[in-house]
Amino acid sequence: MRESSIQVCPVPLEQQPVNEYEELKESWFFRLATLENSLFLRKIAVIWTIGWVITSPIAAASFSPNKSMLPFILFSNLGAGLILALILLQLFFGWHYVSDRLKKETIFYEESGWYDGQTWPKPPEMLTRDRLIVSYQINPILGRLTRTAGILALLMAGDGTVWLCL
């Protein structure tokens, strides 16, 4: 019964939510959110460092490191944090989109173009499988991204507070 209901699925393979999930999981960019904690934090630190290298010349133009070291560091930190926040936001939205597609009882798909969209109700076993994927695979990823963004927001708020106190 399970195989037959999946075989009659009219949704093209690349538009089936479980295949979108697999594709996202294997993507070089979105795979970042699935890494082990230590490797994830290392990659986040690398992204922040690259952001710092990009924003520090802008900060140096505004605040000479020789004369105003603290404003230079704060401005560079805020710029690097903004770059990291944009990357975390993109990761979150990508995973959230796939999560929403997996949770829905129907699949919206396009047969040949944007003008002929259709919906197909998922069979109960497919819906159960998809919701298990969301519960055990995607929700922890979304939680990690939310926590990381929250910590980044606190750090940026701390930088902003010190900035205002100068």
pLDDT per position as a tens digit, 14-46: 999 999 999 999 999 999 999 999 999 999 999
In this predicted structure, what is the pLDDT of residue 154?
A: 98
In this predicted structure, what is the pLDDT of residue 7?
A: 52
Span 94-142, pLDDT tens digits: 999 999 999 999 998 887 766 678 899 999 999 999 999 999 999 999 9
Whether the per-residue pLDDT at 6 is higher than 50: the answer is no
> Strands 117-121 and 106-110, how do they pair?
antiparallel
* Cβ 100 vs Cβ 131: under 8 Å: no
Kindly report the number of other CB atoms within 10 A of residue 20's CB atom. Answer: 17
Closest alpha carbon to 40 in 154, 145, 151: 145
Whether the per-residue pLDDT at 2 is higher than 70: the answer is no
